[in-house]
Amino acid sequence: MSINDKVYTYIQKSHIRLTQHMRAVIDTIIESKTPIEAKSIYTQLKDNHKSIDLSTIHRILEKLHSIQLVDAIYREKATSYELSSQFLPHHHHFTCSECDTIIDIDECLIDPLLSSISHIGKPISHSFEIQGICKSCQK
């Protein structure tokens, strides 16, 4: 099943009304390979000649977040969204504090640590974010 099929099957099961606007927002999130913020979704849709205002996008994102279709990544300047962990492989984020870019880290950094805490219990899930300065901002 493609990621699009998975997402739209999930929407159907959630019994929320899938509007044209919502579909446009979801497709933009799926196409974006990194977490995306409302303003960028707005710009992309506008470039594609879709008329939708920013507050509608915010409302849709809140809705999608409430049914756990997307995860929110909170930063100082804005909140970014990506498909939730049930649709994406497990990964972590590196956020640049200079340019606010979020970079996906595909490799799990703490997997090796998890086995060392087995005497405490069985870990089910974890998440963490790394703050730093990206390569291009270091120049």
List residues near Zn ion by CB under 5 A.
Answer: 82, 96, 98-99, 104, 108, 134, 137
Q: What angle do CA 80, 82, 83 make, to 5 degrees?
A: 155
Q: Minimum distance between the CB of residue 113 and Zn ion, rounded to whole angstroms?
A: 9
**Considering beta carbons, is residue 27 or 104 the nearer one to Zn ion?**
104
Distances (CA, A) of 25 to 2, 15, 32, 35: 18, 18, 11, 13
**Considering beta carbons, is residue 16 or 100 the nearer one to Zn ion?**
100
Q: Minimum distance between the CB of residue 123 and Zn ion, rounded to whole angstroms?
A: 10
Q: Minimum distance between the CB of residue 121 and Zn ion, rounded to whole angstroms?
A: 17
**Considering beta carbons, is residue 25 or 70 the nearer one to Zn ion?**
70
| Structural element, H or E, at residue 139 | none
Polymer length of the chain: 139
Q: Minimum distance between the CB of residue 100 and Zn ion, rounded to whole angstroms?
A: 7
Pairing status of strand 92-96 against strand 129-132:
parallel
What secondary structure does DSSP assign to 19-43, as a single string? -HHHHHHHHHHHH-SS-EEHHHHHH
**Considering beta carbons, is residue 16 or 134 the nearer one to Zn ion?**
134
